[in-house]
Amino acid sequence: MLRAPAVPLLVLLVAALAGCGRSSPPLVAPPPPEVVVARPVVAEVTDTIELTGNATAVETVDLKPRVGGFVTAVHFADGQDVSVGDPLFDIDDRSYRIARDQAEAEIEAEQAELLELQSELVRDQALLPRGAVTQEQVEIITAKRDMAAATLKKDKAMLAQAELDLGFCRVTAPIAGRIGARTVNVGELVGSGAAPTSLATIVSVGPVYVTFFADERSLLVARQRAIRDRREDRRGEGGPEANAAEGEPSWRNIRDLAIPIDVALVTDEGFPRRGVLAFVDIAVRASTGTIRCRAILDNPDRLIAPGMFCRVRLPFGDPAEALLVPDRAIGIEQGRRTVAVVGADDRVTIREITPGKLDGQMRVVTKGLAAGDRVIVSGLQRARDGAVVRPVEAQPAPPARE
């Protein structure tokens, strides 16, 4: 029996043993993760109180007809903008034209009768000295003349009323704004009088009101601060120094103080809309300790509609220096608010802070940070407590305006 040569097997075994004897390549440590850091912004911030309110229109008109009849035309589309005097509805005016023509005819008849009586009176007064007519006849003609003049005056008033009723057959916009959905269509009968038919509603869309309820303490503090600011402004302008006796305004009208009110809709970031406090109610609600307030603000984009929910920010207290960091840099760990701070050795420390109010996209930090700390604002998912990172400096966004 022939045996297979063992030399190839021996060669393979020697090669395998030689491969196992080589050393493995060294492991290379990954570079530290890169994070973006920023130092807290030092700025003066005014404490504010945030409230909730609702928008209301400065002017609201519920259109109702002054005369009754069938609607013959509608001149607007639901929801469109209208100006003062724009035609909106036409009411059948045929019966009112007839009434106007009748009043004109009666005036013409009364004028002719009055002219005749006046001529007769002149004639009788000329005949009276000759005894052709008696004094009694002259007095009767004079009375008839006066009655005809009074009737003519009444008929002229009736003509004026008929012309008014004819004009009321065209309903026009009494204010500028936006008109809602019509409640009647062409061919429907509308009524006036004690229970007039509602045709549509127009609301102004220029300046708008925002109504909210503020607690009495916050309102008093905001008012006192505004009065102090006005006094300082007057002193800076060289005005009277101290009191009303020297000519200082009393500032009893809350609108004269121009207390700023910041407003935000549900889709706004921060408080981009600014108005002034225009009205404070005459009494505080004893059950809640709040008082109804109303701010007025422009509505250039016409996004604010009556009834919309609004967030309101009222200044409270004096401006004070504070530290602010981007709100996105603040995390939550077991119910605590924390930030990741990079030390001088590029090592991360998770530090607990006490956050304050939100100012735009920046958050006030009242405790736990120093002005020179480097706070991680991007790459938090790569930062671990005690880990070494590679920080990249970034300038944080400035705080929102006060």
**Which domains can be identified in the chain, with CATH numbers?**
34-45+320-393 (2.40.420.20), 51-57+205-318 (2.40.30.170), 59-90+172-204 (2.40.50.100), 93-168 (1.10.287)
For 152-205, how does the pLDDT look when each residue is reduced to its tens digit (9 = 90+)?
A: 999 999 999 999 999 999 999 999 999 999 999 999 999 988 889 999 999 999
Supply the DSSP string of 209-276, one letter for each residue: EEEEEEEHHHHHHHHHHHHHHHHHHHHHTT---S-GGGT-----SGGGGT-EEEEE-TT-SS--EEEE
Handedness of CA 208, 213, 218, 223 (dihedral sign): positive
More confident site: 16 or 281: 281
Among 46-50, 72-76, 172-176, 311-315, which stretch is predicted with the lowest mean pLDDT?
Answer: 46-50
Q: Determine the pLDDT at residue 18.
A: 53
Cβ–Cβ < 8 Å for 240, 247: yes
Q: 53 CB contacts (<8 Å, ≥6 apart)? A: 210, 211, 212, 213, 263, 295, 309, 310, 311, 312
pTM (predicted TM-score): 0.69
Q: Provide the pLDDT for residue 88.
A: 97
296-333 residue pLDDT tens: 999 999 999 999 999 999 887 777 788 888 888 888 88
pLDDT of 10 over the 50 cut: no
Q: For residue 87, which amino acid is it?
A: P
The separation between the first and the last C-alpha atoms of the chain, rounded to the nearest angstrom, is 104
b/e 174-198 (16+ beta carbons within 10 angstroms → b): eebbbbeebebeeeeebebeeebbe
In angstroms, the Cα distances linking 108 to 95, 101, 189, 198, 245 are 20, 11, 34, 38, 68
Q: What is the pLDDT of residues 215-263, one digit of tens each?
A: 988 888 888 888 887 777 777 666 554 444 444 555 678 888 889 999 9
Whole-number mean pLDDT of the chain?
Answer: 85
Question: Per-residue pLDDT for 66 more than 70?
Answer: yes
Predicted confidence band of residue 28 (pLDDT cuts 50, 70, 90): low
Q: Any idea which residue has 């400035």 for tokens?
A: 398
d(CA 262, CA 163): 50
Q: How far is CA 162 from the centre of its chain?
A: 43
